[in-house]
Structure 1
Amino acid sequence: MARRSPRPTVLPNPRLDRKGPESLSDDSDAELAAWLGERLRRVALGLTVALLTARAYWPSEVDPKAEGGAGLYWDLAVLLVVGLAVAAGLVGGVVRLRWSWTDAAVIALITLVGLSAGQAYDRRLAINLAWDWGAVGLAYLLVRNLPRTRSESVVVAGALVATAVSVAVFGLYHAGVEMPQTRAYYLAHRLEVLKQMGYAPGSTAAKMFEDRLNSTETMSTFALANSLAGFLVGPLVLMVAVGWENLIRRDGRRSRLASLALAILPALAILVCLILTKSRSSYIGFAVGLLALAWCERRRASKKTLLLVALGGLVVIGGLVSAGLATGKLDRQVLTQSPMSLRYRREYWVGAWRVITERKEVFWGGRGPGNFTAPYLRHKLPEASEEIFDPHNLVLEVWSTAGALAMVALVTGLGVAFWNLLRTAPASVELPVEGASKPLSALEWPSDPPRRTNWLLVCAGGGWVLASVLGTLNPFEGDMPNRWLILGLAWVWAVLFGLQVWRRVPISAVGFGAGALAIAINLLAAGGIGIAGVALMLWSLIALGLNLREDRPCGRLREPGGRFLGFGLALAWAALLGTFIGAILPFWRSEAAIAEADAALRANPPKFEVAEAAYREAYSFDKYSARPWLGLAFEKYREWESRGAKPEDMRWKTIPASMVEAVSPPRNPNSWTLHHERAKVTRQLLNQLGDKLKPGELTTYRANIVEATRRASRLYPSNATLHAELALASAEIGMYGDAAKEAEEALRYDGLTPHADKKLAPLLRKQIEAELPGWKKSAISMPAGGKMPE
C-alpha cells in the first residue's frame, strides 16, 4: 500500500473532515474505519471473482436424483461473501451502490422464483434449486457493486473469459482423449458398467446411455453440450469485441499486432470447442452477437474494414468446419437436421404453453424450480421426442417456473440492460486507458481503491482451489488430477496470452452487451437459464457491462447512505441467511444420514441394522425428500434376500409400504417414475413369492400394481409402454374392460410416435395384440357386478 503523505490544508478530504479541524481523534478513527472497510471490500471482491471462476469447473445442470443439491455449498459461500460485503459498508461507514432498472428486475425475478418453490409438488427439489437461482442473483449484485474502478470490472471480465478458455481447452482434451478411453473400457466391460449404472441390457435407458457415450459432442465440465455452448458463446463474442478495439485503435500501449497474435490462440480454443458442441442455437447466438457488435461499431470504422474483418472471420470458421468434417468430429446432420431440431422445439413449446395455461394459479405463479417435467408429460404431444426438464426457451422457462410476473421481470431486465449496453457512448466521452497514472493533484487515502489489480487476478485464479472445496473437482480421485491440472494450467495460459490485449486499450460496454445478447439468443432455443454456470455468465456480463457505462446512470457508483443503510442491508442479509439454514440444513443432515446408511450397506457383511436406523433418521430430518424412503425399501429388500427371501419373513412387506411413502405428500406424488418403480418392485416381489401367498393377499398386491401403474400412465399419458403394462396388470385381476381400453391406447400411441425408443418393445406389442381380442370378448360377457360368472 502506498504511504500517505501529510495532508495539505488546501485539499481536505470531505469524507474524513466532517466535524472540522478541531476533531483530530475523530479523523483518526474515521480513517481506520475507512481503511478496514476498504480491506473488507477487497476481500469480498476477491472471493466473488474466485466463486465465479469455480462454478464453471463442475456440472451445474440439475440432477433430480440428487434433488438438485450439487451447488448448495457454493450458494452458501456466495451468501457469506454478501455478508462480508455488507460488513465492509458498515465498518467503513459508507455504502456504495450502483443501481438501474435491470438490478430491480433481477431482484424481482429471483424473489418470485423463491416464492414459487412454496407451491411446488416436489418441494425439496424446488427449494434447493430456488437457492441456486438466489445465489446467482446475489452474485450479480456483488459484481455490480463491489468493483469501484473500471480496472477492477475489466479484471473480473478477463477472469471470466480465462475461465471459458480453460473449460474449452479441457473440453477438447475430454473429447479427444478421455471419451475414447471411456468408450474402449465400456466395450470391454459392457455388462459390468450397465449393472453399475442400474440399466438392463437392451433397455431404452441402456440404449440412451450408449448413444450419449458414442456421441462426438463436446461437453467438458458440463453434462450437456448445449449448456457448454451457452457458457462459451458470450465470452467468445466479448473476445472478438476486445480484439476489435485493439485493431482499430492505435493509441494504446505496446504493439497491437503482438498483443493480438497472442490473444488469438485462446479465442481459437473457445471457437473450436463451440463448433464441436454442435449447438445450432449457439451458432445463431454467436452470429447475432457479432451482427449487434458490427452495428454498434459501424460509425467507428469504414464499411471496407468491417467487410474485410467479417470475411477473415468467415474464412477461419469455414476452415475449422471443413477440418471438423474431414476428421469426423462434425457431421453434415448438424445442418441437414436443423428443420427436425426446430420441429422438436415447436413440440416442446406447445407442451410448455399447455402447462402454463393449465390453471390460473400456474399462469401467474408457476410450478416452481425443477417442477416442469411432471406437468409437461401430461401435456406432451405423442410425437414429441423427449421427457424434457425445461421448455428449451428462456421466456417459457421462467414463466413456467415462477409465473407471468417473473417473465415480465426477466424481459424487462434484459431489455433495459441491452438498451444501456448496446448504445455507443457520446463522442465527447473519453474512456480512460487502463492503468493510466493518476493526476498529481489527486490524493490517495487508505479508503481509496488500489491502482493495481494484479491482486484481483490472483484471487480469480483461486477458483481453481475453491472448486475442490465447494464442488466435485477432487484432484485426488480417479481421473480428476488430469482435469484439475488442465483447467488450472489452461486458465493461466489464457491470462498470460490475453493480458496485454485487455490492458492495451479501454474496453467499451458494447462488447459485453453483444456477448450477453448471444447467450440470450442461445437460451431462446436451448433453454437453461436455471443452470447456474450459464446463468452466471449471462448476468455477470450484463453486470460488468453496466459498470463500464460510466456515461450513464447505471454505471455510476453512488453513496446513498452511511451506516443506517448498512444496518438495513445487514438485517436483510441475516434474514436471508437464516432462511437458507432453515431450508437447507435438514437436507444436509438427511444426506449425511443417507451417506452413513449407504456406507453400512457397502460393508462386508452389510450392516443392515445400522443402515435402517440411518435411513429412518434421514427421513426424520427432511420430510420433503423421497430418498430416505427409497433407500429404506432397497435396504429391506437386500436384508430379506440375505435371509432367504421367505414369505414368513415379514420384512418384505415393508418394501412396498416404503415405496408408497416415497410418493406420498409432502413428498412428490406426481413422479411417474416413482409410481412405475413402485409397480415394478411389487411385481418383482410377487414373482419371487409365487404361489406362497394367500389368494386374498395375492389379489391385494396385484391391485396395488394396477393402482401404481395407472397413476404412472395418467401422469404420462402418451407413454405407450405404461398403457401396455397397465393392460396386462388389469387383465391379471379380471378387469378385462380396462385391459382392452389400455391396450388400445398403447397401440394408438405406439403408432403415433415416430421415435423408436418411445415405441412398444416388439415382444410386448405382440403380446398385447394377441390378448386384445380375448379381453374384449371377456369384457362383453362380464356381468354388471364386474365378476365373471361361475
Structure 2
Amino acid sequence: VHGLHQQWISLPANRAEYTSNPDRLLRMAGIDAPPGSAERMVFENRLFDGGPTGTFALANSLAAVLVVGCVIGFGVLRTRWTKLSTSERVAIGVALLLGLGALWAARSRSAMAACLLGCVVLTVAAALLPSDPVEPNVSDDTDDSDESAKIGRATADRRSKLRLLMTGMAGLFVSGLSVGALIAAVGNQEWFSQAPASIAFRFQYWRSTFKIAADHPFFGSGPGNFQAMYERYREPSANEQIADPHNFLFETLASGGFVGLGLLLMLLVLSGYFAYQRMVVIGPTGGQPRHATVNETAKWVWLGSGLTLIMIWLIGAAAGRTPDIEAHLFVIPLAIAAAYFVWPALARCHSSAIDLIATVALGSLLLHLFAAGGWTVPGVAIFVWVFAAMLTRANDTSRSVPTSNSRNARANIAVVVAGVGLLGLLNWMSLRPVQAAERELNLVQVAQQQRRRSAMDQAMQRAVAADSWAVDAVLLQSEMTHWELILTQDSTSIRQRWESQIAELLRRSGEDPAVYRLAALQHLHVYQRWGNPADLSAASDLLTQAGTWSPSNQWIAAQRSAIAAARGDGEQARKLAHTAAHLAQLGGNIERSLTRQMLYRVQMTGPVVEKGPSTAAASDLLANQLDSPDVTTQN
C-alpha cells in the first residue's frame, strides 16, 4: 500500500516539484548536481523512470518483500481454498492484488519473474504433495500399528517420487515459457529493450567481484567495504559505481570470502534437505490440530505488531526520520484488516502446508536476489533467516519420545538469554552509535537553521564522537570548516582545524576513493579562493591516490589532467586527458561523456567562489590537451 501511495501520489508530486524548480529540490536532497552534469542526469533518470521504494532506499528491496508477501498469500489460497470462508478469500485476494500491483509498479524484472514462477510451483506442488492431511485425534491408547500404517500411506514410493520430480521439472519449464509470454504480452517494452544490457552489466559486476574474492579469499573485502573495493576491480567498460554486486551469492563472497559463502551454502543445503525430508520422504503425519492454538497465538501476533509499529515511530522520531504520515493513514488500517483475516487462515494451515509455502517463498526470494541487490538490507534478509529457521527446525516427536519439561525449559531460557545478549551487543556496538550520530546531526541542522553557532558546534562534536567509525559526521564537519575558511579569512587556526578534520576523515574512510575525491574538492575550492599552492598540491596527491584505487573513473583522470596543466606539467596533462577521453567512450553511456563531467577550475578566482566553486565541463577545460596528440600513444 505504501508503494502504491508513492506510485500514484508521492512520486508524481515530487516530479512536478522538480520540474517547476529543480535546483530547490536538489538542495533539499543535499545533492550537488550542476545543470548538464552526470550527477543531475542520474538523479533525473531515477526520479522520472524509477518505481516506488516504500520504506526502503531502492525499489528492488521493496520488490523482495512484495515477492514474499505475494507468494505467501497465493500459497494460503492454493492450499486452504476449500476451508476458507468467503470473507477470508476476499481479504487474502485483495491483499494479493495490492501486492502484485505494487510489484508491477516497482518495475523489477527479476522480482516479477520470481513471484510468478513461485506461484506456478505452488500450484503444481500442492496438487502433487499431500500438504493438508486429515489430522488424527491423538490419545494415549493410540495403536502403534495404526499410526505406522498412516505414516506408511503418507510416504511416497520411488516411482511416485520420480514422477513428482519429472512433473515438477516440466512444470517449471512450462511456467518459465508462460511467464515470458505474459510479460511479453502486457509488460513494459523497456523491460525487454534494456534486459540484454542489464544482464551484461551484471556479468561485469560478478567478474569484478570474483577478482576481489580471488585476492581476498578467506574473508573478502569485509562487511561494508565492497563499494570502495569494487572501484579497484571495476572493468573499464563498466558504467556504474555500484554498492553491491546484485547477486546474493557474490555479495556474500565479496563481503565474507569463501568462508562466508561456504556457510551460506551449507545453510541453504540444510534448509532444502530438511524441507525435502518432511514434505516428500516422511510426508505429513498428522499431529496436534493447529487450529486449537489460533486464539492463543493471535494475541501475541497483535501484541508484537503493535509494539513494532510503536518502535518504528519512536526510533524514527529519535533519528529525525519520521515515517510518511500520509501513507501510514492508508497503510495501518489496511494492514490491521489484512492481519485480522489472513492470520487465522495461516495459523490453521497444517505444518506440511507451511513447509511448502516457506520453501517456495524462500526459493522465490533467493531467485530475485540472484539478479538484484538488497541481500544485506535487514528488512529483506530477515525473511531468509526466518524461512531457513522454519525449514531446519526439529521434527515434532512429542507423541513418540517423552521429553523432559525441565530440560526444555532450560533450553528455552538459554536461547532467550543468548538472543537478548546478541541483541544487546548489536545495539551497543552498531545501532546505538549510529542512532546517536544521526540524532546529533539532526540537531546540527536545526541549530544551523536557527543560526546558533555555539549549539551547532557542540552538536557537531558530539556527532563526531558518537560513532568512531562513521564518515558522515566528520565529512560534514570538514565541509563546514572549509566554508568558514572561504568566507572569513585564511587564518592559521582555521586552516589547522580544517586539516586535522580532513586527516580524521581520511583515517576513517580507509581506502575509499569517493571520500578522497570529496577531500580533494575541498582543497580545490579553497585554492580557488586563496590560491595557496599547498592546497593544489594536496588536491593532486589525494586524486592521485583515488585514481590508483579507481583506475576506471573518467572524472578523476580528467580533474587530474586539469591540475597537471595548471602546475605546468603538459605531458602529464595530455596523457591524463586522453585517458579520461578513452574511459568516457567505453560502455556507450552518455553519463560518462566529458561534456557531463563537471570539473573544478584550477585557478584562483577570489571572492567570487564564496557563493560556490567555479566549475566547467571537462570537454571545455581539457580542449587544449585533447587537441594535442597523446605522446604515450605515439611512442
TM-score grouping bracket, smaller chain normalisation: 0.7 to 0.9
User: C-alpha separation between the residues in 2 aligned to 1:212 and 1:573?
Assistant: 40
User: C-alpha separation between the residues in 1 aligned to 2:424 and 2:332?
Assistant: 35
Residue matched to 1:420: 274
Q: 383, 387, 392: which one pairs with 1:537?
A: 383
Residue matched to 1:134: none
User: C-alpha separation between the residues in 2 aligned to 1:754 and 1:290?
Assistant: 38
Alpha-carbon deviations, 1:22-78, whole Å to 9, x = none?
xxxxxxxxxxxxxxxxxxxxxxxxxxxxxxxxxxxxxxxxxxxxxxxxxxxxxxxxx
Q: 244, 250, 255: which one pairs with 1:396?
A: 250
Residue matched to 1:187: 19
Q: 225, 232, 244: which one pairs with 2:78?
A: 244
Work out whether residues 508 and 548 of structure 1, in 8 Å CA contact, stay in contact via their aligned partners in 2.
Answer: no
Q: 370, 382, 387: which one pairs with 2:224?
A: 370
Residue matched to 1:685: 526
Q: CA deviation at 1:408?
A: 0.9
Residue matched to 1:339: 196
Work out whether residues 237 and 286 of structure 1, in 8 Å CA contact, stay in contact via their aligned partners in 2.
Answer: yes
User: C-alpha separation between the residues in 1 aligned to 2:465 and 2:318?
Assistant: 31
One-letter code of the match for 2:229? P
Task: Provide closer, same or farther for how the CA distance between residues 550 and 277 of structure 1 changes in structure 2, counting only shifts above 3 A.
Answer: farther
Q: CA deviation at 1:703?
A: 1.1
User: C-alpha separation between the residues in 2 aligned to 1:764 and 1:736?
Assistant: 16
Alignment of 1:434-583 (within 5 A): 434-436=290-292, 452-462=296-306, 463-471=308-316, 480-499=324-343, 501-502=345-346, 506=350, 507-546=353-392, 550=396, 561=407, 572=418, 576=422, 579-580=425-426, 583=429
Work out whether residues 319 and 439 of structure 2, in 8 Å CA contact, stay in contact via their aligned partners in 1.
Answer: no
Task: Provide closer, same or farther for how the CA distance between residues 472 and 526 of structure 1 changes in structure 2, counting only shifts above 3 A.
Answer: farther
| Helix, strand or coil at the partner of 2:210 | helix
Work out whether residues 286 and 518 of structure 1, in 8 Å CA contact, stay in contact via their aligned partners in 2.
Answer: yes
| Helix, strand or coil at the partner of 1:263 | helix
Residue matched to 1:719: 553
Work out whether residues 212 and 220 of structure 2, in 8 Å CA contact, stay in contact via their aligned partners in 1.
Answer: no
Residue matched to 1:662: 505
User: C-alpha separation between the residues in 2 aligned to 1:612 and 1:428?
Assistant: 65
One-letter code of the match for 1:735? D
User: C-alpha separation between the residues in 1 aligned to 2:435 and 2:542?
Assistant: 30
Task: Provide closer, same or farther for how the CA distance between residues 620 and 562 of structure 1 changes in structure 2, counting only shifts above 3 A.
Answer: same
Q: 270, 274, 280: which one pairs with 2:103?
A: 274
One-letter code of the match for 2:60? N
Task: Provide closer, same or farther for how the CA distance between residues 589 and 297 of structure 1 changes in structure 2, counting only shifts above 3 A.
Answer: closer
Task: Provide closer, same or farther for how the CA distance between residues 721 and 419 of structure 1 changes in structure 2, counting only shifts above 3 A.
Answer: same
Work out whether residues 709 and 722 of structure 1, in 8 Å CA contact, stay in contact via their aligned partners in 2.
Answer: yes
Alpha-carbon deviations, 1:369-411, whole Å to 9, x = none?
2110111111111221311111111111111111212111111
Residue matched to 2:233: 379
| Equivalent pairs, count | 568
| Helix, strand or coil at the partner of 2:551 | coil
User: C-alpha separation between the residues in 2 aligned to 1:723 and 1:404?
Assistant: 34
| Helix, strand or coil at the partner of 1:198 | coil
One-letter code of the match for 2:515? L
User: C-alpha separation between the residues in 2 aligned to 1:205 and 1:347?
Assistant: 22
Task: Tell me whether 1:676 sits opposite 2:532 in the alignment.
Answer: no
| Helix, strand or coil at the partner of 2:68 | helix
Alpha-carbon deviations, 1:260-314, whole Å to 9, x = none?
34421111111121122221211332244235434533435999x99xx99xx99
RMSD: 4.0
Q: Which has the higher helix share?
A: 2
Q: CA deviation at 1:227?
A: 0.9
Task: Provide closer, same or farther for how the CA distance between residues 537 and 723 of structure 1 changes in structure 2, counting only shifts above 3 A.
Answer: same
| Helix, strand or coil at the partner of 1:382 | coil
Task: Provide closer, same or farther for how the CA distance between residues 551 and 388 of structure 1 changes in structure 2, counting only shifts above 3 A.
Answer: farther
One-letter code of the match for 1:346? F
Task: Provide closer, same or farther for how the CA distance between residues 532 and 568 of structure 1 changes in structure 2, counting only shifts above 3 A.
Answer: closer
Q: 447, 463, 469: which one pairs with 1:624?
A: 469
TM-score scaled to structure 1, two decimals? 0.64
Q: 555, 560, 564: which one pairs with 1:730?
A: 564
Task: Provide closer, same or farther for how the CA distance between residues 688 and 505 of structure 1 changes in structure 2, counting only shifts above 3 A.
Answer: closer
Q: CA deviation at 1:549?
A: 5.7
Q: 443, 448, 471: which one pairs with 1:601?
A: 448
Alignment of 1:754-773 (within 5 A): 754-761=588-595, 763-772=617-626
User: C-alpha separation between the residues in 1 aligned to 2:563 and 2:538?
Assistant: 10
One-letter code of the match for 2:119? L
Task: Provide closer, same or farther for how the CA distance between residues 675 and 176 of structure 1 changes in structure 2, counting only shifts above 3 A.
Answer: same
Task: Provide closer, same or farther for how the CA distance between residues 467 and 587 of structure 1 changes in structure 2, counting only shifts above 3 A.
Answer: closer
Unaligned runs of 5+ in 1: 1-168, 437-448, 691-697, 781-790
Unaligned runs of 5+ in 2: 131-162, 597-616
TM-score scaled to structure 2, two decimals? 0.79
Q: CA deviation at 1:523?
A: 0.9
Task: Provide closer, same or farther for how the CA distance between residues 466 and 574 of structure 1 changes in structure 2, counting only shifts above 3 A.
Answer: closer
Residue matched to 2:285: 429
Work out whether residues 727 and 738 of structure 1, in 8 Å CA contact, stay in contact via their aligned partners in 2.
Answer: yes
Work out whether residues 246 and 260 of structure 1, in 8 Å CA contact, stay in contact via their aligned partners in 2.
Answer: no
Q: CA deviation at 1:705?
A: 1.5
User: C-alpha separation between the residues in 2 aligned to 1:236 and 1:518?
Assistant: 10
User: C-alpha separation between the residues in 2 aligned to 1:742 and 1:432?
Assistant: 74
Q: CA deviation at 1:204?
A: 1.9
Q: CA deviation at 1:509?
A: 1.1
Q: CA deviation at 1:627?
A: 3.3
- Among all aligned residue pairs of Structure 1 and Structure 2, give the percentage whose two residues are the same amino acid: 21
Task: Tell me whether 1:213 sits opposite 2:47 in the alignment.
Answer: yes
Work out whether residues 433 and 505 of structure 1, in 8 Å CA contact, stay in contact via their aligned partners in 2.
Answer: no
Residue matched to 1:199: 32
One-letter code of the match for 1:625? A
Task: Provide closer, same or farther for how the CA distance between residues 471 and 561 of structure 1 changes in structure 2, counting only shifts above 3 A.
Answer: farther
Work out whether residues 175 and 216 of structure 1, in 8 Å CA contact, stay in contact via their aligned partners in 2.
Answer: no
User: C-alpha separation between the residues in 2 aligned to 1:340 and 1:570?
Assistant: 48
Work out whether residues 673 and 712 of structure 1, in 8 Å CA contact, stay in contact via their aligned partners in 2.
Answer: yes
After TM superposition, the structure 1 stretch with the greater mean CA deviation from structure 2, 218-227 or 625-634, is 625-634
Alpha-carbon deviations, 1:691-736, whole Å to 9, x = none?
xxxxxxx332211111111122222111111101101112222333
| Helix, strand or coil at the partner of 1:222 | coil
| Helix, strand or coil at the partner of 1:210 | helix
Task: Provide closer, same or farther for how the CA distance between residues 461 and 611 of structure 1 changes in structure 2, counting only shifts above 3 A.
Answer: closer
Q: 469, 481, 485: which one pairs with 1:636?
A: 481
One-letter code of the match for 1:736? G
| Helix, strand or coil at the partner of 1:415 | helix
User: C-alpha separation between the residues in 2 aligned to 1:402 and 1:395?
Assistant: 10
Residue matched to 2:144: none
User: C-alpha separation between the residues in 2 aligned to 1:400 and 1:631?
Assistant: 29
Task: Tell me whether 1:283 sits opposite 2:147 in the alignment.
Answer: no
User: C-alpha separation between the residues in 2 aligned to 1:567 and 1:508?
Assistant: 26
Work out whether residues 441 and 460 of structure 2, in 8 Å CA contact, stay in contact via their aligned partners in 1.
Answer: yes
User: C-alpha separation between the residues in 1 aligned to 2:338 and 2:587?
Assistant: 47
